[in-house]
C-alpha cells in the first residue's frame, strides 16, 4: 500500500501544496498506520506553518523514530543499500532507501535552518531539523534527552540497535475440555526473541507451569509401576512468526512454536552402559515424561517507552504426553494459555 502512495506524495512535496500534503498524510496514515516518514513530514510542515510542534516532537522521540531515521540514513549511505532494503522492507516502512522523498525533506529541513524567516524557532524544533537534514553531529550534541542512536560512524556498517529482546512472562495454563490430571495453573517463563523491527521474528522460550492440585499418575520405571504427583511441567522450544500489523505503537504477531514438553517426575532409573574398557556398568538417570509440544498463538505488543514493551499472548498447545511409553495414565493433549509479558530490547 505504501509503495503505491509514494509517487503522489513526492509530487505534492515538489508542488509544496500544504493543504494537499496534509490531506495526503491523513489518508496515508489511515491506510498504513503511523510511520516515521509521516510524522517527520508533519513536524517539518508544522514548523513551516508556524504551528505548535511539541506534541508531534514528543511522539516522534517516544516512538524512537529518531533512531530509526538515523539507521535509515546510515543504511542508505552503504553500497549495498538495495540489498538491505530488499531483505527487510518493513524495517523501512516500505519506503525504499535513497527515495526522492528523503532528499526533498532533507532540502526543506536544511532551508528552514538557514532561513532568516525562521530564526525564532525553538531549540527543540531546530534540533529536529538538524536530524531531518542529516546533520547528526548537531542533533546529538544539542539534545539532552536523546542519546546518539547510531551505533557506528556514519557511512560505516550500521548495527541494529534493537536486534534482540528479552522477555519475562506470567500467566495461566489450562486444559481444554475434560482432563483427569491437570487443572488451570500458573505459568512463568522467559524468552529471547529477535527485535520487533523485523518482519519475521524468531524466539527461544522456556516456560514452567506449577500444577495446581494435580491428580496422581502412573509411570513405568524399570518394569515397576510408580505413582507420582506431577507438580511441574516444562516447555523448552523455538518458534517464529510474521508481523501482521505494526504502527510503531502496537504490534500484532501470530506465532508457531515447537519444542520439548516435559512432566517432571523426580524419578531416576537404572540404565546400563559400557565404559572405555568395554565393561558393562550401571548408572542412575533422571526419568521424566517427554513429548513434542506444538503451540499456535498470537501476541499483541504495546510499545510502552524507549526500549520497553508489554503485551498479552494467547496460545493453543498440543501436548501428546501419551507418546512417552513410560506414562501409563491417560492425559489429555489439548491446552490453552494466556500470558502477560514485559519485553526489553537491546
Model confidence pLDDT, tens digit, residues 127-158? 999 999 988 877 864 444 444 333 333 333 33
| 344 sits in which H/E element | strand 334-345
pLDDT for the residue numbered 2: 63
Q: How far is the CA of 211 from the CAs of 230, 233, 314, 328, in angstroms?
A: 7, 7, 19, 19
pLDDT: which is higher, 108 or 119: 108
Residue 60 region, left (φ>0) first, then alpha (ψ -120 to 50), else beta?
A: alpha
Mean pLDDT value across residues 241-246: 88
- Residue 261 clears pLDDT 90, i.e. is over it: yes
- Residue 272 clears pLDDT 70, i.e. is over it: yes
pLDDT for the residue numbered 333: 96
Mean pLDDT value across residues 194-211: 90
- Residue 1 clears pLDDT 70, i.e. is over it: no
Mean pLDDT value across residues 237-266: 91
Cβ–Cβ under 8 Å, residues 238 and 258: yes
Mean pLDDT value across residues 17-40: 87
Residue (of 340, 332, 291) closest to 315 by Cα position:
340
Tell me the domain boundaries of the chain: 2-142, 164-345
Cβ–Cβ under 8 Å, residues 305 and 132: no
How would CATH label the architecture of 164-345? Answer: Beta Barrel (2.40)
Exposed, middle or buried: residue 5 (CB in 10 Å: 0-12, 13-18, 19+)?
middle
Model pTM?
0.56
Name the phi and psi angles at 19, rounded to 5.
-65, -40
The per-residue pLDDT of the chain, averaged, comes to 87
pLDDT for the residue numbered 3: 67
Cβ–Cβ under 8 Å, residues 202 and 223: no
pLDDT for the residue numbered 228: 94
* pLDDT band for position 336 (cuts 50, 70, 90): very high
Torsion of CA 182, 185, 188, 193, to 10 degrees: 70
Beta bridge partners of 226: 219
pLDDT for the residue numbered 288: 94
* pLDDT band for position 162 (cuts 50, 70, 90): low
| Residue keyed to cell 498440543 | 318
> What are the tens digits of pLDDT across the range 58-113?
999 999 999 999 999 999 998 889 999 999 998 898 899 999 999 999 999 999 98
Q: How far is the CA of 162 from the CAs of 35, 281, 306, in angstroms?
A: 18, 51, 11
pLDDT: which is higher, 234 or 5: 234
Residue % of the chain over a pLDDT of 90 = 56
Helix-, strand-, coil-residue percentages of the chain, each rounded to 5: 30, 40, 30
Sorted by sequence, the CB contacts under 8 Å of residue 329 that are 6+ apart come out as: 181, 216, 217, 218
Name the phi and psi angles at 32, rounded to 5.
-120, -5
Sorted by sequence, the CB contacts under 8 Å of residue 163 that are 6+ apart come out as: 194, 195, 346
Exposed, middle or buried: residue 257 (CB in 10 Å: 0-12, 13-18, 19+)?
buried
pLDDT for the residue numbered 24: 86
Residue (of 283, 332, 1) closest to 178 by Cα position:
332
Q: Tell me the C-alpha distance between 215 and 181, whole Å.
A: 5
Mean pLDDT value across residues 305-324: 92
* pLDDT band for position 278 (cuts 50, 70, 90): confident
Amino acid at each position: 500500500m505504501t509503495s503505491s502512495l509514494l509517487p503522489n506524495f513526492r509530487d505534492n512535496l515538489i508542488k509544496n501544496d500544504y493543504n494537499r500534503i496534509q490531506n495526503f498524510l491523513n489518508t496515508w496514515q489511515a491506510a498504513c498506520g503511523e510511520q516515521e516518514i509521516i510524522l517527520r513530514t508533519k513536524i517539518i510542515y508544522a514548523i513551516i506553518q508556524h504551528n505548535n510542534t511539541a506534541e508531534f516532537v514528543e511522539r516522534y522521540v517516544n516512538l524512537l523514530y529518531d533512531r530509526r531515521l538515523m539507521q535509515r540514513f546510515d543504511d542508505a549511505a552503504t553500497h549495498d543499500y538495495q540489498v538491505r532494503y530488499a531483505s527487510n522492507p518493513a524495517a523501512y516502512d516500505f519506503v525504499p532507501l535513497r527515495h526522492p522523498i528523503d532528499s526533498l525533506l532533507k532540502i526543506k529541513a536544511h532551508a528552514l535552518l538557514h532561513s532568516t524567516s525562521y530564526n525564532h524557532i525553538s531549540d527543540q524544533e531546530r534540533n529536529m531539523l538538524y536530524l531531518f537534514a542529516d546533520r547528526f553531529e548537531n542533533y546529538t550534541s544539542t539534545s539532552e534527552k536523546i542519546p546518539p542512536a547510531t551505533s557506528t560512524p556514519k557511512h560505516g556498517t550500521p548495527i541494529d540497535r534493537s536486534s534482540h529482546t528479552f522477555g519475562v512472562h506470567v500467566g495461566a495454563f489450562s486444559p481444554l475440555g475434560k482432563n483427569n490430571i491437570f487443572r488451570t495453573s500458573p505459568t512463568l517463563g522467559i524468552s529471547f526473541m529477535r527485535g520487533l523491527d523485523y518482519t519475521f521474528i524468531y524466539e527461544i522460550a522456556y516456560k514452567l507451569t506449577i500444577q495446581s492440585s494435580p491428580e496422581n499418575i502412573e509411570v513405568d520405571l524399570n518394569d515397576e509401576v510408580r505413582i507420582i504427583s506431577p507438580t511441574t511441567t516444562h516447555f523448552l522450544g523455538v518458534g517464529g512468526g510474521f508481523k501482521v500489523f505494526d504502527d510503531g505503537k502496537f504490534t500484532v504477531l501470530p506465532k508457531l512454536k515447537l519444542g520439548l514438553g516435559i512432566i517432571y517426575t523426580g524419578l531416576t532409573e537404572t540404565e546400563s552402559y559400557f565404559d572405555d574398557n568395554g565393561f558393562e556398568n550401571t548408572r542412575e538417570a533422571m526419568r521424566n515424561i517427554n513429548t513434542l509440544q506444538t503451540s499456535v498463538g498470537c501476541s499483541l505488543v504495546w510499545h510502552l517507552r524507549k526500549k520497553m514493551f508489554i503485551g498479552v499472548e494467547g496460545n493453543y498447545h498440543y501436548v501428546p504426553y501419551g507418546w512417552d511409553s513410560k506414562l501409563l495414565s491417560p492425559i489429555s493433549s489439548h491446552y490453552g494459555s494466556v500470558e502477560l509479558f514485559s519485553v526489553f530490547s537491546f
